[in-house]
Structure 1
Amino acid sequence: MASFTLQGIPVSRGITIGRAHLLRPAAMDVQHYLIAQEQVEAEVSRLQSAIAQVQLDLQSLWSDLPTDAPTELGAFLDVHVLILSDPMLSEAPLDIIRTRHYNAEWALVTQVDALSAQFDEIEDEYLRERKADIQQVAERVLKVLTGTAHQLPRALGVDEQNANMIVVARDISPADMMQFRDVAFTGFVTDEGGPNSHTAIVSRSLGIPAVVGLGNASQLIEQDDWLIIDSDAGVVIVAPSPLLIAQYRDRQALLIKERKKLSKLKKTPAITLDGIEIQLLANIELPEDAVAAMEVGASGVGLFRSEFLFMGRTGSELQLPTEEEQFEAYKKAVQAMKGRPVTIRTLDVGADKPLDSSEHNILNPALGLRAIRYCLKEPQIFLTQLRAILRASAFGNVHILIPMLAHAFEIEQSLAMIAQAKQELLTDGIAFDDGVKVGAMIEVPAAALSLPMFVKKLDFLSIGTNDLIQYTLAIDRADHEVAHLYNDTHPAILQLLDMTVTAADRAGIPVAICGGMAGDIKLTRLLVAMGFRELSMPAAILPEIKQEILKTNIGLLQVATKKILRTYDPKLIQELLVAMRSQEFATN
């Protein structure tokens, strides 16, 4: 067959070459038929039995997790068990059978479609992609109902031409991933997903190349097709020529050699050629991610997204994680970092996030009741989290980061809530660090334009560039129609960054970047030359950024940096960035 190339979203690093194995999911397009009144309870029982069987399957998979399995797999299986036991999935379809007389499959898909529509309204990319959890759980139930459960072949592995298995699927659930542990596989290709899908998260944790969001790859690729995944470029080459395979094998060997070389930098401080030290921190989503942060030599955790604890929970406040649950999770991360700072961002969810499935009627959720706005409206939820974070501070170096602050009263009320949490712990005789530092995320243009009220009352700043770009350029990051307008080097963005780092420097407080720009090696030299001394990023990217810093002389970049900040010509900005990146400096 003729060779062709597919372009998708790169979610991990590296190159792999192998044969395609198509993973066929249970079709969500099921039979639709009405049942007679006397068949209703039998149909209800059929669905209940299928749900019970999947519960047993998931629990069995969890129990059989090998000791070397990525910790994310266990966490995702826990989420799937929770989703399956949630009344929104375990009981609502039964009501549909009883009231509408739908067959079990139709009732289940009807409910899943309704829940999926609610998740489509979510602005936050990470939480929006949790829709896949519900769909994957439902598909497992459908497989039992329809008798279409599948298994991956156990005999696949390395053939005479060193071709490993590359999994090609519409999407891959964590439960399906459990089947891979006995199979030789080297890459993932999926039609759906984004940077925060399960495939993305697990592939990064395993260090396996993956490209997602390809649209219809599973229809275009055939079983056993030769594939090349270039996950740096987000490219999948189908049926490549022998010459192209040989060229990519050479590139693959070079990348492996480079990666081994980078791993030797683990204990090397990130100090520029002119003697300026940069703190490289890790972004984490699960307590277990702290282990990976330590393995690459991170100076600490610059952003612990606490949303994972609230993920997959719907309904009333009673179903939210308890203080004890949260405390144990934060404590685990703090202890794993062995005294290095751990910055925990308070809950960044709201009316557009799936804490309560009844709250999805907001017209523009990106501008609605989210982050600190939600927490101040729900003080008991906020207070519970603050108590848990403060308790964890007794076990290490903890910082509290408040998202989406824009008003003076939000700062004052947040600090008052922290003081209240401290007083309650004192009264209860529970230990905590009274000197825990409190910072603000700068992600709303109003915050960047009114920095004096932030630097006077807070201990540090952290710039969330993803949201700052979204709000400054009036672009919904979730809308592919305007995705091409998302520009992290727009003059307005660079001006806001410069204003923030200048204000923090004058006030003598630290300022970090924890958004996507911090992990973009094309921008590393510009950011450190602008004055940023703390960059927080996914752990896997950290060694490469460190290497770039070790080859940089900040003093010799000042002229180019000033030119970039003075110009409003996008083309000139890009030319200057390319020149800055290619500049080589003599070592002393």
Structure 2
Amino acid sequence: MASFTLQGIPVSRGIAIGRAHLLRPAALDVKHYLVAQELVEAEVLRLQNAIAQVHVELQAIWADLPQDAPTELGAFLDVHALILSDPMVSEAPLDIIRTRHYNAEWALVTQVDELSAQFDEIEDDYLRERKADIQQVAERVLKVLTGSSSQVPSSDGIDERTANMVVVARDISPADMMQFRDVAFTGFVTDEGGQNSHTAIVSRSLGIPAVVGMGNASQLIEQDDWLIIDSDAGVVIVAPPTMVLEQYRERQAQLLKQRKKLSKLKKTPAVTQDGVEITLLANIELPGDATPALEAGASGVGLFRSEFLFMERSGEQHQLPSEEEQFDAYRKAVLGMKGRPVTIRTLDVGADKPLEAAEHNILNPALGLRAIRYCLAEPQLFLTQLRAILRASAFGPVKILIPMMAHGFEIEQTLQLIAQAKKELTAEKKEFDVGIPVGAMIEIPAAALALPMFVKKLDFLSIGTNDLIQYTLAIDRADHEVAHLYDDLHPAILQLLQIIVSTAEKAGVPLSICGGMAGDLRLTRLLVGMGFRELSMPAALLPEIKQAILNTRFDTLQPYVKKILRSYDSAVIQETLSNMEALGKTLH
């Protein structure tokens, strides 16, 4: 067949070469029919039995998890089990069968479509992509109802056709991923998903190349097609010519050799050749991410996104995670980092179910009641989280990071609530770090321009570049129609970063950068040259960033940085950045 290339979203690094294995969805088009009144309860029972069978399947997969399985997989399986037990999934479809007389498959799909539509309204990227959890759970139930299978090949008698398998699917659930643990698979390609989908998170954790958000790849790729995944470029080459295949095999071998070499830098401090020390931290989503962060050589956690605990918990207060549940998760992350600092960002959501009440009816969630605004509007929810974080601080160094700060009163109210949480815990004789550092995420231009207001009252600052870019350039980064306007090298962005660095340095307040820019290898020397001394990123990116720092002289960067900050011409900025990178290679 003729070779062709597909473009998607790169979510991990590296090159994979293998044969396509198509993982067919259970039921893209389920049967729709009405059930007679006398058969309604039998149809209800059929769905209940299917749900019960999936519970058993998930428990069996969980019990069979190998010791070396990524901790994320266990956590995701727990989430799927919770979703399966949620009345919105386990009971609401039964009501649809009883009231509308829909067949079981139709009732389940109807309810899931309604829940998915609610998730589409969520502004937060991570939480919005959690709708995939609900769809994947529903798909497992549909597989039982329809008698279809996931078509995973047996591990027995692996030959060239199953070795180095590239899984191609509309989407891949963590439970399905576990079915590949005994099969040689080398990469993932999915039609759906984004930077925070399960496929993305697990592939980064495993260090397996993956490209997601490819639209219709599973329809265009055929079973057993040879595939090349270039997950650095977000490209999948289908049926590559022999010459292209050989070129990529050579690149793959070089990357493997380079990765082995980089792994030896684990315990090497990130210091430039002229003695400037840089602290490299890890971003994590789950408590179990602490272990791979340590293995990658992280000096601590610069951003623990606490949103994962609130997944599929929107709505009534009783659905939210308890203080004990949160405390247990935070403590696990703290203990997992073995004495290295863990920065926990407080709940950063907006526009999820609680905001759909009439008093919170908003047109643009990005500019609405989200992050700290939402937490201050729900003080009991916020106080519960603060108590849990404070209690976890008794087990190791913890910092509290507050997202989306912009106003002085937000700082005051937050500090008052932290003081209240401390007072309550003291009265209850529960231990915590009395001097726990409190910081703000700088992700709104107003905060960057009014930074003196922050440095007087807070202990540290952390820049969230993703939102800072979104708000400065007035683009919704979740809107694909304006995605091309997202520019981390826009002169306005660089000027704001410089203002923040200078102000923090003069005030003697620690500053880190934890957005996407921090893990972008092409920007490492620019950030170091601008004065950043703490970078936080996904753990898998740490070794390459460290190597770049080791091959850098801070004093040689200054002329390039000054030229970039003085320029308002995109071509000049790009050229100067390239010259700076070329200089780094000469020091290698």
Whether 1:452 and 2:452 are equivalent positions in the alignment is yes
Distance 1:253 1:158, change over 3 A: farther
State the one-letter code of the partner of 2:73.
L
Deviation at 1:501, TM superposition (A): 0.7
Deviation at 1:362, TM superposition (A): 2.7
Alignment of 1:265-304 (within 5 A): 265-304=265-304
Query: Matched residue of 1:439: which SS?
Result: strand
Whether 1:353 and 2:352 are equivalent positions in the alignment is yes
Deviation at 1:164, TM superposition (A): 1.3
- More deviation in 154-163 or 316-325? 154-163
2:116 alignment partner in structure 1: 116
1:575 alignment partner in structure 2: 575
- Aligned residues of 1:12 and 1:210 also touching (Cα < 8 A): yes
Cα distance between partner residues in 2 of 1:345 and 1:117: 27
Cα distance between partner residues in 1 of 2:405 and 2:98: 47
1:69 alignment partner in structure 2: 69
- Aligned residues of 1:26 and 1:143 also touching (Cα < 8 A): yes
- Aligned residues of 1:157 and 1:183 also touching (Cα < 8 A): no
- Aligned residues of 1:157 and 1:164 also touching (Cα < 8 A): no
Distance 1:586 1:45, change over 3 A: closer
Query: Matched residue of 1:312: which SS?
Result: coil
Q: List per-residue Cα deviations over 1:212-248 (Å, max 9, x = no partner).
A: 1111111111111111111111111111122221111
Deviation at 1:314, TM superposition (A): 3.6
Query: Matched residue of 2:521: which SS?
Result: coil
**Length-normalised TM-score, structure 2:** 0.97
1:307 alignment partner in structure 2: 307
Q: How large is the Cα RMSD of the aligned pairs?
A: 1.6
Q: List per-residue Cα deviations over 1:9-59 (Å, max 9, x = no partner).
A: 111111111111110011232111222222221211111111111111111
State the one-letter code of the partner of 2:179.
Q
- Aligned residues of 1:314 and 1:356 also touching (Cα < 8 A): no
- Aligned residues of 1:157 and 1:165 also touching (Cα < 8 A): no
Distance 1:398 1:583, change over 3 A: same
Q: List per-residue Cα deviations over 1:366-404 (Å, max 9, x = no partner).
A: 111111111111111111111111111111111100000
- Aligned residues of 2:399 and 2:436 also touching (Cα < 8 A): yes
State the one-letter code of the partner of 2:457.
K
- Aligned residues of 1:118 and 1:357 also touching (Cα < 8 A): no
Query: Matched residue of 2:39: which SS?
Result: helix
Deviation at 1:437, TM superposition (A): 0.4
Distance 1:410 1:434, change over 3 A: same
1:195 alignment partner in structure 2: 195
2:542 alignment partner in structure 1: 542
2:365 alignment partner in structure 1: 365
Distance 1:381 1:268, change over 3 A: same
Alignment of 1:472-511 (within 5 A): 472-511=472-511
Distance 1:329 1:355, change over 3 A: farther
1:50 alignment partner in structure 2: 50
Cα distance between partner residues in 1 of 2:468 and 2:149: 45
2:437 alignment partner in structure 1: 437
State the one-letter code of the partner of 1:131.
K
Deviation at 1:361, TM superposition (A): 4.7
Q: List per-residue Cα deviations over 1:465-518 (Å, max 9, x = no partner).
A: 000111111111111000000001111111111111111001001111000000
Distance 1:158 1:547, change over 3 A: farther
State the one-letter code of the partner of 2:330.
Y
Query: Matched residue of 1:525: which SS?
Result: helix
1:5 alignment partner in structure 2: 5
Query: Matched residue of 1:111: which SS?
Result: helix
Query: Matched residue of 2:45: which SS?
Result: helix
Whether 1:470 and 2:447 are equivalent positions in the alignment is no
Deviation at 1:4, TM superposition (A): 0.8
1:182 alignment partner in structure 2: 182
State the one-letter code of the partner of 1:414.
T
Cα distance between partner residues in 2 of 1:400 and 1:584: 35
2:327 alignment partner in structure 1: 327
Structure 2 runs not aligned, ≥5 long: none
Query: Matched residue of 1:180: which SS?
Result: coil
Cα distance between partner residues in 2 of 1:475 and 1:73: 34
Query: Matched residue of 1:35: which SS?
Result: coil
2:552 alignment partner in structure 1: 552
- More deviation in 158-167 or 526-535? 158-167
Cα distance between partner residues in 1 of 2:329 and 2:185: 32
Distance 1:158 1:33, change over 3 A: closer
Alignment of 1:125-164 (within 5 A): 125-155=125-155, 159=159, 163-164=163-164
- Aligned residues of 1:28 and 1:109 also touching (Cα < 8 A): no
- Aligned residues of 2:383 and 2:418 also touching (Cα < 8 A): yes
2:255 alignment partner in structure 1: 255
Deviation at 1:160, TM superposition (A): 5.1
State the one-letter code of the partner of 1:35.
V
Cα distance between partner residues in 2 of 1:358 and 1:182: 47
1:563 alignment partner in structure 2: 563
Distance 1:395 1:111, change over 3 A: same
- Aligned residues of 1:191 and 1:215 also touching (Cα < 8 A): yes
2:229 alignment partner in structure 1: 229
Cα distance between partner residues in 2 of 1:353 and 1:552: 44
State the one-letter code of the partner of 1:331.
R
Cα distance between partner residues in 1 of 2:314 and 2:402: 23
Distance 1:253 1:470, change over 3 A: same
Structure 1 runs not aligned, ≥5 long: none
Distance 1:281 1:354, change over 3 A: farther
- More deviation in 42-51 or 302-311? 42-51
State the one-letter code of the partner of 2:145.
L
Deviation at 1:312, TM superposition (A): 2.0
- Aligned residues of 2:163 and 2:185 also touching (Cα < 8 A): no
State the one-letter code of the partner of 1:261.
K
Query: Matched residue of 1:182: which SS?
Result: coil
Query: Matched residue of 2:494: which SS?
Result: helix
Query: Matched residue of 1:12: which SS?
Result: coil
Cα distance between partner residues in 2 of 1:172 and 1:286: 19
Deviation at 1:157, TM superposition (A): 7.0
2:318 alignment partner in structure 1: 318
Deviation at 1:358, TM superposition (A): 5.8
- Aligned residues of 1:444 and 1:471 also touching (Cα < 8 A): yes
State the one-letter code of the partner of 2:148.
T
Give aligned-pair identity as a percent: 78
Query: Matched residue of 2:27: which SS?
Result: coil
Cα distance between partner residues in 1 of 2:421 and 2:159: 60
Q: List per-residue Cα deviations over 1:50-93 (Å, max 9, x = no partner).
A: 11111111111111111111111110011111111111111111
Deviation at 1:353, TM superposition (A): 2.6
Deviation at 1:355, TM superposition (A): 6.0
- Aligned residues of 2:124 and 2:348 also touching (Cα < 8 A): no
- Aligned residues of 1:190 and 1:212 also touching (Cα < 8 A): yes
Query: Matched residue of 1:343: which SS?
Result: strand
Cα distance between partner residues in 2 of 1:566 and 1:311: 44
State the one-letter code of the partner of 2:542.
L
Cα distance between partner residues in 1 of 2:433 and 2:457: 19
- Aligned residues of 1:211 and 1:234 also touching (Cα < 8 A): yes
Cα distance between partner residues in 1 of 2:67 and 2:586: 47
Deviation at 1:163, TM superposition (A): 4.7
Deviation at 1:322, TM superposition (A): 1.2
Cα distance between partner residues in 2 of 1:377 and 1:438: 20
- Aligned residues of 1:28 and 1:139 also touching (Cα < 8 A): no
Cα distance between partner residues in 2 of 1:28 and 1:94: 21
State the one-letter code of the partner of 1:92.
A
